[in-house]
């Protein structure tokens, strides 16, 4: 056997071009990402910029590192997962520790710039009526007239002048004392002048005594209304001398007056403290959480009981018209839940609903489904039962068919009754198969916002609560009312904090899933 080493195989043209194409592709990706990063940073979206930078580093490592290169085909999936799954989660966590919301959507630097742009007319300032002129190159001049009718020509960066017709390119004056023409400029009519978005932002005249348009009829010597003191982190009114101190992202005066806009600022655990300690929230919160768990658990039990009962009946041999009846029972599952909820809402309407009209004619009483708290809860459970039992019927039917008949034959030999067979054989083995699905259903019902919101928006309302709360509100609908109702204003930071609380609860339920799933598996091994 020869010890000669075989010469290396010659590289193909495609293999030789592969590193070059990789570098070209990476250069295109990096260039695009850097451009995007600069724009995002300029706009103040720092969390998105950080996430983009991390993704960019990961992509470069995968495409350049020899050991990581084999997973290059997963780059697109990893990027999408990072941007649409991981980033929203991290962003939600960050928002929960901030005052991010209505009036607090921009950075402090952006808010300061907007506030400093506000102007005021001092007592010594002069006001004028104005007429605008525009050149073909897009330059502007103003013809100003004071209360006495004296005319002035205002040019950006130059002092005001009082030229006469024939001077500085002025044409003849009309009956109102306004030049009909100015050489190199076209006179703008009232509509064009008042709709021109550039004019209000132009400072006419020289520094220290600039003229700025402040209304369709008036231009004045305006001064900045506020100055910013970085040492005190405060805004100072030049008109009144009032100091507006930064308080949780809002410049506020001692009397409570606030400057808008505010800005995003980290407030640590303030959102969480408000949720758990606020007297306004603590009152209805206990009742809402209690009903939330009751709704999720009762829905699961009722839906499972009905679905399992139907599945057991269909599992019996010789059941007449099995396929037809099963097809009819699946129909509620095929109709969109949105339409089903609205249909039930109409049928239970106390004035026009079919069910209420039928009961009133039959027994002389129409149940107040929307005004009585207990009947409202019953109605929600019934609607959820109608929506969910076909799902449980299907999964239980499949699980029952997977249980061997040998178990039941052995149980019959031992003299076990049908009830004993159900509790000792059917239910334990069924839970092994559908246990994770039951946990998923419990989590879904815990956050079943659509049913609550579409049926009665969480009503009827609780009496004596300072916050909007209803007797059928679950935690997610209550949080929606707190965070997004017009009376409170949009508060994304508070909503994100409560989202974290809900995530913790759901995460705890998910962890319990693994524990009890293992328990069911141990039980099944002993059957």
Phi, psi dihedrals of residue 209, rounded to the nearest 5°: -145, 50
Cα–Cα distance for residue pair 234/222, rounded to 1 Å:
22
Cα–Cα distance for residue pair 11/17, rounded to 1 Å:
10
- In this prediction, residues 320-335 reach a mean pLDDT of 84
Which residues, listed in sequence order, are joined to residue 156 by a DSSP beta bridge? Answer: 205
Cα–Cα distance for residue pair 476/503, rounded to 1 Å:
11
pLDDT digits (tens, 9 = 90+) for 63-120: 887 787 777 778 778 788 877 888 888 888 888 999 888 888 888 998 999 999 888 8
- Answer with the residue of higher pLDDT: 361 or 19: 361
Which residues, listed in sequence order, are joined to residue 153 by a DSSP beta bridge? Answer: 143, 161
Q: Which H or E run contains 64?
A: helix 46-64
Maximum average pLDDT range among 267-281, 394-408, 472-486, 513-527: 394-408
Whether the Cβ atoms of residue 307 and residue 391 lie closer than 8 Å to each other: yes
Whether the Cβ atoms of residue 325 and residue 447 lie closer than 8 Å to each other: no
- Flag whether pLDDT at 128 surpasses 70: yes
Please give the structure tokens belonging to residue 22: 């990789």
DSSP 197: S
**Residue 98: helix, strand or coil by DSSP?**
strand
Question: What pLDDT score was predicted for residue 16?
Answer: 46
Residue 295 CB contacts under 8 Å (≥ 6 apart), including other chains: 377, 380, 381, 445, 448, 474
pLDDT digits (tens, 9 = 90+) for 279-301: 767 678 888 888 999 999 999 99
Interaxial angle between packed helices 270-277 and 279-315, expressed in degrees from 0 to 180 and rounded to the nearest 10: 80
- Flag whether pLDDT at 14 surpasses 50: no
Residue 503 CB contacts under 8 Å (≥ 6 apart), including other chains: none
Does a cis peptide bond (omega within 30 degrees of 0) precede residue 356? no
Please give the structure tokens belonging to residue 290: 């209690």
Does a cis peptide bond (omega within 30 degrees of 0) precede residue 27? no
- Flag whether pLDDT at 482 surpasses 80: no
Cα–Cα distance for residue pair 90/97, rounded to 1 Å:
11
Which residues, listed in sequence order, are joined to residue 219 by a DSSP beta bridge? Answer: 128, 213
Question: What pLDDT score was predicted for residue 513?
Answer: 67
What kind of fold does domain 13-96 have according to CATH?
Answer: Methane Monooxygenase Hydroxylase; Chain G, domain 1 (1.20.58)
Instruction: Count Cβ atoms below 10 Å from residue 365 Cβ, excluding itself.
Output: 9
Phi, psi dihedrals of residue 151, rounded to the nearest 5°: -100, 145
Cα–Cα distance for residue pair 203/215, rounded to 1 Å:
14
Whether the Cβ atoms of residue 51 and residue 90 lie closer than 8 Å to each other: yes
Please give the structure tokens belonging to residue 157: 């960066």
- In this prediction, residues 458-483 reach a mean pLDDT of 84
- Flag whether pLDDT at 473 surpasses 70: yes
- Output the CATH code of domain 275-525: 1.10.3720.10
- In this prediction, residues 5-12 reach a mean pLDDT of 51
In the chain, residues under CATH classification 2.40.430.10 are 119-224
- Output the CATH code of domain 119-224: 2.40.430.10
In the chain, residues under CATH classification 1.20.58 are 13-96
**Which of 472-495 are b and which e, b meaning 16 or more Cβ less than 10 Å from the residue's Cβ?**
bbbbbbbbbbbbbeeeeebbbbbb
| 151-154 vs 119-120, strand pairing mode | unpaired
Question: What pLDDT score was predicted for residue 7?
Answer: 56
Question: What pLDDT score was predicted for residue 154?
Answer: 92
- Closest by CA to 51, choosing from 90, 16, 3, is 90
- Closest by CA to 55, choosing from 24, 21, 87, is 87
Instruction: Count Cβ atoms below 10 Å from residue 137 Cβ, excluding itself.
Output: 7
pLDDT digits (tens, 9 = 90+) for 371-421: 999 999 999 999 999 999 999 999 998 888 888 888 888 888 888 888 888
Question: Mind giving me the DSSP string for 151-179?
Answer: EEEE-BTS--B-PPTTSTTB--B-TTS-B
């Amino acid at each position: 056997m020869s010890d000669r080493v075989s010469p290396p195989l010659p590289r193909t043209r495609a293999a030789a071009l592969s590193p070059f194409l990789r570098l070209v592709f990476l250069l295109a990706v990096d260039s695009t990402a850097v451009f995007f990063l600069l724009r995002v940073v300029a706009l103040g979206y720092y969390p998105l910029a950080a996430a983009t930078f991390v993704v960019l580093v990961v992509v470069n490592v995968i495409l350049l590192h020899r050991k990581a290169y084999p997973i290059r085909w997963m780059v697109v999936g990893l990027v999408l997962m990072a941007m649409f799954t991981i980033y929203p989660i991290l962003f939600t966590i960050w928002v929960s520790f901030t005052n991010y919301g209505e009036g607090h959507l921009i950075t402090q630097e952006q808010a300061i710039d907007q506030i400093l742009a506000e102007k005021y007319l001092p007592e010594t300032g002069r006001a004028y009526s104005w007429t605008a002129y525009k050149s073909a190159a897009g330059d502007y001049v103003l013809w100003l007239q004071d209360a006495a009718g004296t005319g002035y020509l205002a040019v950006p960066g130059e002092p005001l002048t009082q030229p006469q017709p024939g001077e500085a390119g002025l044409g003849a004056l009309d009956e109102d004392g306004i030049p009909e023409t100015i050489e190199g400029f076209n006179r703008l009519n009232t509509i064009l002048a008042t709709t021109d978005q550039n004019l209000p932002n132009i400072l006419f005249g020289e520094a220290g005594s600039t003229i700025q348009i402040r209304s369709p009829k008036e231009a004045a010597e305006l001064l900045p209304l506020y100055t910013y003191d970085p040492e005190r982190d405060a805004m100072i009114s030049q008109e009144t001398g009032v100091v507006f101190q930064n308080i949780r992202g809002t410049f506020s005066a001692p009397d409570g007056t606030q400057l808008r806009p505010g800005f995003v600022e980290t407030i640590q655990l303030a959102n969480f403290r408000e949720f758990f300690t606020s007297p306004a929230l603590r009152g209805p919160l206990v009742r809402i959480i209690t009903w939330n768990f009751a709704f999720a658990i009762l829905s699961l039990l009722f839906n499972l009981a009905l679905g399992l009962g139907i599945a057991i009946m269909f599992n019996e041999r010789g059941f007449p018209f099995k396929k037809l009846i099963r097809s009819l029972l699946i129909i509620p599952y095929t109709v969109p839940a949105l339409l089903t909820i609205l249909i039930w809402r109409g049928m239970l309407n106390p004035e026009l609903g079919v069910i209420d009209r039928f009961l009133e004619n039959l027994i002389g009483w129409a149940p107040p489904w929307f005004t009585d708290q207990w009947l409202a809860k019953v109605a929600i459970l019934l609607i959820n039962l109608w929506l969910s039992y076909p799902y449980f019927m299907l999964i239980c039917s499949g699980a029952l068919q997977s249980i061997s008949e040998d178990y039941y034959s052995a149980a019959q030999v031992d003299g076990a009754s049908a009830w004993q067979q159900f509790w000792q054989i059917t239910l334990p083995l069924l839970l092994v198969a559908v246990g994770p699905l039951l946990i998923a259903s419990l989590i879904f019902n815990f956050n079943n916002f659509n049913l609550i919101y579409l049926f009665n928006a969480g009503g009827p309302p609780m009496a004596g609560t300072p916050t909007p709360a209803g007797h059928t509100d679950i935690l997610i609908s209550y949080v929606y009312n707190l965070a997004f109702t017009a009376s409170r204003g949009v508060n994304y930071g508070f909503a994100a904090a409560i989202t974290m609380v809900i995530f913790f609860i759901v995460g705890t339920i998910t962890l319990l899933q693994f524990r009890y799933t293992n328990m069911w598996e141990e039980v099944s091994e002993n059957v």
